[in-house]
Each structure stands twice: as C-alpha cells, then as structure tokens.
Amino acid sequence: MEIRDRYAPSPTGLQHIGGVRTALFNYLFARSQGGKFILRLEDTDRTRSDAAFVHNLYETFAWLGIPWDEGPDVGGPCAPYVQSERFGIYREHARRLVEAGKAYYCFCSPERLEKIREEREAAHSGETGYDRRCRDSPPVEAAGRLRAGEAHTIRLKIPLGETTRFRDRLLGEIEWKNEDINPDPVLLKSDGFPTYHLANVVDDHLMGISHVLRAQDWLPSTPLHVILYGSFGWSPPEFCHLPMVMGADGKKLSKRHGATSMDEFRRQGCLPEALLNYVALLGCSYEEGKDLYTLKELSERFALEKLNKAPAVFDYKKLEWYNGQYIRMKADAELAALALPFAVEAGLFGGPGKEPAPAEAAAFAAAMPLIKERAVFLREIPEKLDYLFAEPAVAAAAEFIPKKADLARTISLLRLGRDLLGDLAVLDDAAAEALVKAKAEAAAVKLGDLLMPLRVAVTGKRVSPPLFGSIRILGAETCLARTGRALEALETAAGTDALPGAL
C-alpha cells in the first residue's frame, strides 16, 4: 500500500504553530515511509476564506522548505486540490447516499430550526441538534417538494442505537455511542455547498489518503467520518490524532501566550530550520541525547510509535535556544545576508529602508563574529551593532565609572586606554588581550577596570559586542575621536580640564 497523507488547511487565517506542526508531521511520516505528502485547500467556508491566506500558506511553507508532492500549485493525478473547484463531485456523492437510503432530503427552514432551539432552551432541555423530522418522509413526498423547487438540504442518517468503533494509531481503540453524535448532520447545504464533513471524507477517499494525521481536537468528528465512510461502503483511512500544543498554563496555545503565527516568528528573525527542529519535537521523540536535527534526519527518524499521548508545551525560551544554536552554526557571510534585511528595515545605514554603501556592507559582514555568540533572533542584530554605523551619544559620566572607582580615576583609566587604540586597531584578539593585560599589570589596575571606560567611549554602552573586534572595524581614527569626546565630557563633569594623566 502506498502511504499517502495530507495537510488540508482552511484558508481562513494565517499559518500558525499548530497547523505547521500538523503539516510537518504529515510530511515527515510520508517521507519516512517513501510515500506522498499532499496539500488540499478546504475552502468551503466562502465567507472567511481569502486569497491572502492562501498566499500566506504558500509563502510560509516555501520559507520553511517543506514541499508537497501534489497540490493546487503543483498539480497531480487527483486534481483539482481546491474544494471550491470540486462542488459537482460532492453533490453527486450526496445524491448517491440519498439513493442508497443512507441520507435524506430535509426541507426544514432555518426559522423552524431556530424555533426548536429556542423552545428547548426555554424548557431547559438537554436535547441538541436536529429533531429528525424529515428522516422518514416518504420518497414520493420528497420528490414532489424537490420538483416544486422547495429549498432543502441533504442530511446523513446516523444509525440509531449503535456504537461506532475505530482504532487510532496513537490513542488505541475508540468507542463512541451514536447518540452522542450530532443528530443527522447536514452534508449538503441549501445553496449546494458541501459541509466540511462531506467534502473531507469524499476527498480523502478519492485522493487515496491512507493515513489521516490531525490534532486531537478533531477527535469528536472522527466517529461521524467513520459512519460516512461506512455509508459509502468505503474503508476508512488509518487515523492518528496528534497531541495538542499547549501554552505554559496548560491551555491550548493561542495569541495570549505570545507569537503563534509564522509571520510573527519571521518578523522576529527566527530561522526556519530552528523553528522546524523545535516544532518537530513537540509531542514526538527521536533519539536520546540529541537536540539538533536537519529536516532529512527528522524524516529518517520519524515514526508514529514515537509520538506522545500527552499534550506538548510550547516553550518560547526553548525556541530561543534553538534559534541561537542555528545562528551560531551559520557562516559569517550567510548570517550577514540573513540579517541584512532586518538592518535595512531598522534604519541601521542612515534611515529605514536605506541600503548600505559598499563599505557599510563590508563592515556589517565583518561584525558577524562579534554578535554570533550573543544573538538569539536576527531582529536583535541591528540594535547590537548600531554603534558601528552611527556615532553614539556620549554616555552619562556614571556609565564610565568601574566599580569602586571615582570619576578622577576613571578619567585616568580612559587616558591609559586611549593610548592603546593605535595598536588595538591592528592586532588580533589574542595579541590585543596580551597587550592590554600587560598595560594593566604595569599600571597595577584590574583588566576590567581598564577596559570599562574605553568600551563605553567606543560603543556608548557598558555591555556591547567584543571590544577588540569593534575597535578593528571602526579603526583607530574613529575610536580616538570618540574617546576624545568622552574624555572632554568627563573632564567637564569633574569640574577641571587638567587632571593627572598618570595612575
């Protein structure tokens, strides 16, 4: 048997973590079994479906690097793969069920259905759903009403007094009393549009879907789908209801927990391989003691038997860790290319949207080793490097002063550091560190005390990317000018223009 599974989203919103996890697990399962992964657009909700959401879907999965073997944009033997282009198929299959006595025409108006609901509510009745009024209408009567053009739907006959059973690959044997299923649900609406349940089952059968992997919140729909398969005389696919993705509070992941849409993660500067790696671990285990996987490695290791029954918790801090790991694995040139759009957007090179001059682009690329060990998301990088492309304001005097030092001593330390700038601008890190250590020992000062005022003068910050690398990129002339302005400000703050230069 060929393994065929699918991702069948409704284009009524942006792609989010839960949907991407479902698509990823379907992709990994198909690849692990040498099967086919299919995309189908379930756009029967015509009021909420939007072409913008379809575009978002294509763009998201192109960014993630997850291709499908068949789908609306690539075609395939089961085309069309968009439900709104298959309405004739659904109408024909609904009529077949009526002819087989498995479904029936219902002529109840929306007003009657609403009246039933209101009466039950007033009586505090526990009954829900349709009252099956038209279930046993004589066929001759139904035919006459159809010829008269009376508005109608087609409803499925749920077998009464029975129990529906099916096996879930993760949850095991499931039993569901038919009395707990929505009474005789609509399959074909009065406007000729199919409901989700009819279109989903018909398409899965006609497209040869062998396995349905979907989130556990779809579990209550499965008994109805199993009944539908039986009504058509078809064998259902194998079902596997995936563990839910929850927030840290134990509730289903949503916007209240933070970013959930792929667009939000992309705007933060999340790397697709980091996101895929982390999402693949939400509810599934692969190999003891290993955290980082390529998509190929995940495909080779994925198995339904490795899924967890318990809900998975989406940990934003863990995602940050993964993204940081993948940033550190990037070559400097690749990281610069990935981060550059964020720098342009942030206005790093003279204003929002302004592209860098060749020298600025070279400096930006040269700065990647300075932030690679510290960056978590790409969006952070421009802010960490802003001092390289615009002179920072001279910090307040208190920012320059090392612990247990005073302003006069700080000025002396900064003068000492200034004298080293010519050499630091041309030395590599090891030689620069040796030079500064020797100077600190000779002056009987702590290394950190010597570097603190110099760091603030050059970068404008007490905490910055590595100082020696920053000095090399800026050059001696720029660093000397910044240090001179800082000294001038500190001397003014001290109330004198002539403080001792020696420690």
Structure tokens at 378: 């790409």
Locus of tokens 């690679």: 372
Q: What is residue 183's DSSP assignment?
A: S
Which of the following is catalytic: 255, 309, 354, 437?
Answer: 255
Backbone φ and ψ of 185, nearest 5° = -70, 155
**What is the C-alpha to C-alpha distance for residues 234 and 240, in angstroms, rounded to an integer?**
18
* Residue 439 a catalytic site member: no
**Strand partners for 349:** none
Q: Is the previous residue joined to 80 through a cis bond, with omega within 30 degrees of 0? A: yes
Q: For residue 202, give Cα distances in angstroms to 89, 266, 295, 358.
A: 8, 36, 32, 58
**What is the C-alpha to C-alpha distance for residues 29 and 213, in angstroms, rounded to an integer?**
9
Structure tokens at 61: 């999965």
**Strand partners for 242:** 215
Nearest to 462 by CA among 479, 448, 480: 448
Q: What is the DSSP string of 315-361?
A: -HHHHHHHHHHHHHHS-HHHHHHHHHHHHHHHTTTSSTTPPPPHHHH
Q: β-strand 153-156 against 186-188: which pairing, if any?
A: antiparallel
**What is the C-alpha to C-alpha distance for residues 9 and 421, in angstroms, rounded to an integer?**
59
SS3 480: helix
Nearest to 453 by CA among 476, 421, 497: 421
Structure tokens at 460: 């404008």
Contacts for 11 with CB less than 8 Å, ≥ 6 apart:
41, 43, 49, 50, 51, 53, 54, 57
Residues taking part in catalysis: 255
